[in-house]
Structure 1
Amino acid sequence: MADNQLSESDSHDHIPLHASGLSIPFAALFIVGEIAGTGVLALPKAIDDSGWIGLVLIVACALLSSYTGSILGQAWLIVRERYPEYKRHCPNPYPVLGEKTFGKKGRYVVSFSINFTMFGVAVVFLLLAAENIEDLIEDWTDTDLSFCIWLVILAACICPLTWLGTPVDFWPVALGATLATAIACILLIVKVALDVGTYDPILHSKTEFEPFFMAFGTIVFAFGGHPAYPTFQTDMKKPKNFKWAVFLAYIITIPMYLPMPAIAYFVYGKNVRANILLMPNGGTLNQVVEVLITIHLLLGLLICINPFCQDVGSYARIPKDFTWKRCVFRSLIVASILFVAETIPTFGNILSLVGGSTVTLLAFICPSLFYLKLKSVHQKDMTEIINGNKDNNLSLLDDENGGLPLWVKVMNIEIILLGAVAGIASTYSAIKSIISSDFSKPCYL
């Protein structure tokens, strides 16, 4: 086992990053590329719906998400120690975690939640990207292609890029997505600051139950990259350092997410749009931001759909090597995303629904639940070893040689309960809003 650890980490240090695995900075870039983007557009409206407490929720969700992301990585390390077959690349680590903690039912719940989340995110990203492109082309040229046609064009453009294997094969995508979002956030702050005094007096929406919990779902969605985290960790040169990648990623993300909605709350009030790019008097600055956000959306789509392709591909027995079967299979997935986007050509409440349901489950409930269960089993094994009832065949992690302190157990239980209550309320609010809203006509009708 020690030899396996050596070949997996130390022996790769002299090989270029993209050939051996992700380093801490590049793993962090993938996390940022996964979570930073859509939230920039939707958070200002979420803050107006939730009131100033929404700003506190952003910070709280960021801190909780970074913590649960870290313990999710610790849980995967425990599984790797107990089951050596997972020391090599695993295409679907999060479902494996579900299986090793709660059996087949755990695997199926996690797998469904991941696939629902990632597929939904991909649809939202495609819809937003097409909306931005349509708006930009209308401003720049006399071309009058409809939004529905742009969906087809964009899907065709990104389809070949989805054929790439795992995140380690397309690390420049993460770098591009992160840089595009960072620049867009800076420009958006400037744009909002220039609008100071446009709305006078500044009024805010009344905080009510349903809008508040829909806002909560949007905020959770903004930080809910957990379905892809174990996939990034398995592609690292040293998976045990994943917690530092998570820490670095959230240090980068918080300055992107917090200032702009805070300023927008006091500049626009209840006049803010669901997509802040649709605020009037955007001008050239707004167009530049649209370009950058669109770049992020398309690159982020590639990042978020990859775990979905790997997981579903494992059920379909698609070879791990690059073959025509992978190309055909992933092309069909892109076609499915396009079909849903053409069928439901709006993204409004989808963010709140996905954020309040499966993202809350995967980002808050499952990490703490799996971590507590695995640590409990681990401690039981150690007790049996000490008492001489079991052979000492466990290779302990650096910080796994003791039980969890009571405060850590209590904190994780509180995270689970908070995630469950808030997630149920948010999902209920989103579903009720979807049912009571007018449905857009599908593109093909």
Structure 2
Amino acid sequence: MEAKQEHKHVTDGYSFEQDFDAEKAVDHDSSGHGHERNGSSFGAYFNIVCVIAGTGTLQLPESLKEGGWVAIACILLAAAIAVFTGNLLIRCLYYKDGERLSSYPEIGLVSFGKAGKYIISVLNYSICLGGSCVYISIAGNSVYDLATHINVNVSAAVWVIIAAVLVCLPFVLVKSMKEVAILAIFGAVATLVVVIVVMVVGLMDYPANASNTHNVVVWGSLPAAMGNICFSFGGNVVYPHVESAMKNPQSWAKVLVFAVLTILGMYLCIAVVGYHVYGHLATTPIYDNLPKGPTTTVAILMLVAHVILAAPIMLTSFALEVEEAYGITVQRLGKAREFMIRGAFRALTVFILTFPAIFLPVGKLMSLIGSFSNSLMIFVLPIVCYWRLFGIRSMNYASLAFSVICILVGILACICGTKDAIAGIVKVFTDPESAKGMH
């Protein structure tokens, strides 16, 4: 596979079919280590859906409240960018003939040296760890809200700790992305149940909320809404690990398209219905707007199941990179010692995440991670790394124009959304009464 042929392949029709033998069972990364490719495309699809879909179902109705109906266009744009840059990212893994880079930070290394690797590593880990922290907090606080309605007097902090333990168990026991695919299937189904329940119960609740107001566009808070939407499509951090487990990696582009379209369908349903029904009163999480009852309880429990199942997938992506970097492998340490060290490291990771999960405001934390880290990791860095490795001329004019749009949108969401999120977090600690509801 020569470089010139590869560049022409990308430009003509902008296809992302991989130029390597998909039937090989073992793929070698740039460090010389081999790993088995025995995961199915079906499992990869569910891994993507499970990791990405849950957060949007929670907060996109409020994103429409912040940005107005025009934020629907932002959701569509973010989905298109997620497919476009997700494919560029995987292309970058195979930029060198006969080798596959192992991770997003390695792409940063070969693109911009050690500075590129460190910057991407920090952003990458902030998404994996920050997103998982948000999931643990959502699960714990959601169960706390349910428990208070049936007079179970257990503090929110205790429920968050219980949620952390439930996340920790599969994270410690399950080693690779292929093995967490079964968690992803249940997580994706749980998310679908949440969408259906919110739509049905919300529409039934519309007569009581018909007077709620709506905006076509709110220019002042639209960039912050875009930051939240960025968080809702934050899957780039796990894509290299999901693709590395696929037995047929040439199917990556199709798997990614189908997964993002599935997520987009669920997002549009819950965002449009949630904002249409609750308008200026839409909150995060959206189920707080729903009338209390058995169906709402089912939705909350399904959402709790989703985030508890999705967090180990994000954490596994982080852990695999750290464990590879520090040689925590069976080949080097033996089965028993490898399991003990890996288990201790992963348990410590969850333990550390539990503290911010208890004390930080989830809504603004989601906005901060989405605005700063995800906007750069999804919208900007895959493109600039691709340009660095393959050259700007490897793209046709349409792809180049769309790349510029992606970068501009990403920078705008990063700056404006980050500023709004930090202001919101500061407000929680300086004026707790006025900031109620942000958790």
**Scaled by the length of structure 1, what TM-score is found?**
0.84
Of residues 332, 337, 340, the one that matches 1:324 is 340
Q: Distance in 2 between matches of 1:210 and 1:430?
A: 14
CA distance in 1, matches of 2:78, 2:364: 20
Deviation string, structure 1 residues 344-403 (Cα, Å, up to 9, x no partner): 2x21211111111110111110111122222229x8xxxxxxxxxxxxxxxxxxxxxxx4
After TM superposition, list the pairs within 5 Å mapping 1:223-234 onto structure 2: 223-234=233-244
Deviation at 1:311, TM superposition (A): 2.4
In the alignment, which of 320, 324, 339 is matched to residue 355 of structure 2?
339
Moved over 6 A (4+): none
Mapping 1:43-442, distance limit 5 Å: 43-79=60-96, 81=97, 84=99, 86=100, 90=102, 93-139=103-149, 141-163=150-172, 164-204=174-214, 208=218, 210-319=220-329, 322-344=338-360, 346-376=361-391, 403-438=394-429
Unaligned ranges ≥5, structure 2: 2-18, 27-35, 434-439
Change (3 A) 1:199 1:11: closer
How far the C-alpha of 1:418 sits from its partner, in A, is 2.5
Is residue 365–residue 415 contact of structure 1 (8 Å, CA) maintained in 2?
Answer: yes
Letter in structure 1 aligned against 2:308: L
Distance in 2 between residues matched to 1:340 and 1:426, nearest whole Å: 20
CA deviation profile, 1:102-159 (whole Å, cap 9, x unmatched): 11111111111010111111111001000111223334x5432111011112222322
Residue 152 of structure 2 aligns to which amino acid in structure 1? T
Instruction: Using the aligned pairs only, state the percent identity.
Output: 25
Asked if 2 retains the 8 angstrom alpha-carbon contact of 1:24 and 1:244, the reply is no
Question: Contact between 1:32 and 1:250, CA under 8 Å: does it hold in 2?
Answer: yes
**Aligned letter for 2:85?**
T
Shift in Å, 1:53: 0.4
Larger radius of gyration: 1
CA contact (8 A) 1:68 1:368 kept: yes
Whether 1:37 and 2:51 are equivalent positions in the alignment is no
SS in 1 for 2:94: helix
Q: How far apart are 1:249 and its partner, in Å?
A: 0.3
CA RMSD, aligned part only?
2.5
- Aligned mates of 1:427, 1:5 — CA distance in 2: 40
- Secondary structure at the aligned position of 1:37 is classed as helix
Alpha-carbon distance between aligned partners in 2 of 1:175 and 1:45, rounded to the nearest angstrom: 27
State the aligned residue count.
401
2: CA distance, partners of 1:343 / 1:435? 13
CA distance in 1, matches of 2:167, 2:284: 26
- Alpha-carbon distance between aligned partners in 1 of 2:281 and 2:397, rounded to the nearest angstrom: 47
Residues 422 and 138 (structure 1 numbering): CA distance in 2 closer, same or farther, change over 3 Å? closer
Alignment partners' CA distance in 1, 2:405 and 2:213: 35
